[in-house]
Amino acid sequence: MKIRSINSFEKNKMMEVTSDPLNGLLFINKPKSLSSSDALYPIKKLLRQIGQKKTKIGHFGTLDPFADGLLIIALGHCTRLADYVHEYCPKTYIAKGLFGTQTDTGDLTGQSYKECNLADISARSIVEKKYLGKYSQRPPFFSATKHQGKPLYEWAREGIEIVKDPVERMIYQFEINKLDENEIIFSASVSSGTYIRVLMEDIAYDFKSCGHLVELTRTKIGNAEKDQATELALFKELQSYAELSQKLIEPEVVLPFLKVELDSERECEAFRHGQTIETIFSCEQPVWVYHEGKRLGLAKIREGKLQVLINMMAQL
């Protein structure tokens, strides 16, 4: 068994065109006024047209309809990578908020229910230092967080506000780009599950005001950048398997874990059947497993044993 860095994967590397079932990632620039689920529709339609209607499809991280920016869509086995993207890939945003009015949704789509003073911007340096590191926030009433199996936004639309316990998140980077008593523009890199709408409300409170978001753009997910994304409208022009294949990105671009190469067919078969494989290597993060240049899946190495996490050879 050999192990090496994943540096051999270029950031914009495309998958080779074959007749195999589609497995890979698409970087989409989601437009405003479209839900993340609706953004999947042109891709689903194309999959049906090219005879791939059974291909699994999903996305890594919901963007609200009023927001735009990077949305990663996964096909095939790559849909099973969601938990790892959420754990290892911070999400970066640029946001614009207005002071003086709070809405029930935390953004411009909601109803105003609170008026307050404009911002006291003298607290700028304190705020910039406060929003770095561990950060605790409650999920907003209008969110996909579930209570008794039903999203909070469904409860809220019925007039029932469910207060959930605060959840600890991480803010890796925070910068105020523009600030006056009326509005703020800031950028933040945060852990998965962080609501920027709630972050804006908390920031406004620290400026002795209240506020809501009016613009939100996601610029990065881990190593993936909005500048690499394809406009969603362009997928309506694709007509073939080959054209869609050329848009697919290797999952290693988003999850640049170390790469393990299995030396023998015996080890390959052991991985295929979910069996552990003895190894002298050690690694805290998951590793990509390959054999003869073909990706087999994702594994973890603990106490001298390589254990299967995701078998990408199995039939979906």
Using one digit for the tens of pLDDT, what is the confidence trace for 200-250? 999 999 999 999 999 999 999 999 999 999 999 998 899 899 999 999 999
pLDDT for 18 beyond 80: no
pLDDT of residue 143: 63
CA distance 24 to 10: 15
Outline which parts of the chain fall under CATH 2.30.130.10. Answer: 257-316
Distance separating alpha carbons of residues 254 and 62, to the nearest angstrom: 17
Structure tokens at 306: 């390589």
pLDDT at 4: 56
Question: How many whole angstroms separate alpha carbon 25 and alpha carbon 247?
Answer: 8
Number of residues written out for the chain: 316
Starting at the edge strand that comes first in sequence, how are the strands of the sheet with 294-302 ordered? 2-4, 258-261, 283-291, 294-302, 305-311, 277-278
Query: Is the pLDDT reported for residue 131 higher than 90?
Result: yes
Cβ neighbours of residue 83 closer than 8 Å, sequence gap 6 or more: none
Q: What is the mean pLDDT of residues 55-70?
A: 95
pLDDT of residue 161: 73
Closest to 222 measured CA to CA, from 83, 88, 94: 88
| pLDDT greater than 90 at residue 3 | no
Start-end of CATH 3.30.70 domains in the chain: 11-88+223-252
Going by pLDDT thresholds of 50, 70 and 90, the confidence category of residue 49 is: very high
Q: Is the pLDDT of residue 312 over 80?
A: yes
Query: Which residues are CB-neighbours of 168 under 8 A, at least 6 positions away?
Result: 134, 135, 136
**Tokens 């890199």, residue?**
189
Q: Give the position of tokens 């998140």.
A: 169
Q: How far apart are CA 285 and CA 211, in angstroms?
A: 39
- CATH 3.30.2350.10 domain position(s) in the chain: 91-221
Between 165 and 115, name the one with better pLDDT.
115
Which residue, among 30, 316, 33, has the nearest Cα to 43 in the 3D structure?
A: 30
91-221 is classed CATH 3.60.150.10:
no
What digits encode the pLDDT tens for the residues 298-309?
999 998 999 999
**What CATH number matches the domain at 11-88+223-252, 1.10.1740, 1.20.1250, 3.30.70, 1.10.530?**
3.30.70
Long-range contacts made by residues 234-241, C-beta under 8 angstroms, separation at least 24? 235/28, 235/42, 235/43, 235/46, 236/42, 238/46, 239/49, 239/50, 240/50, 241/17, 241/19, 241/22, 241/50, 241/51, 241/52
Given the residues 20, 38, 64, 263, the one annotated as active site: 64
Tokens 């607290």 belong to 123
Question: Active site includes 64?
Answer: yes
Q: What phi and psi values does residue 271 have, to the nearest 5 degrees?
A: -65, -45
Tell the CATH superfamily of the 257-316 domain. Answer: PUA domain (2.30.130.10)
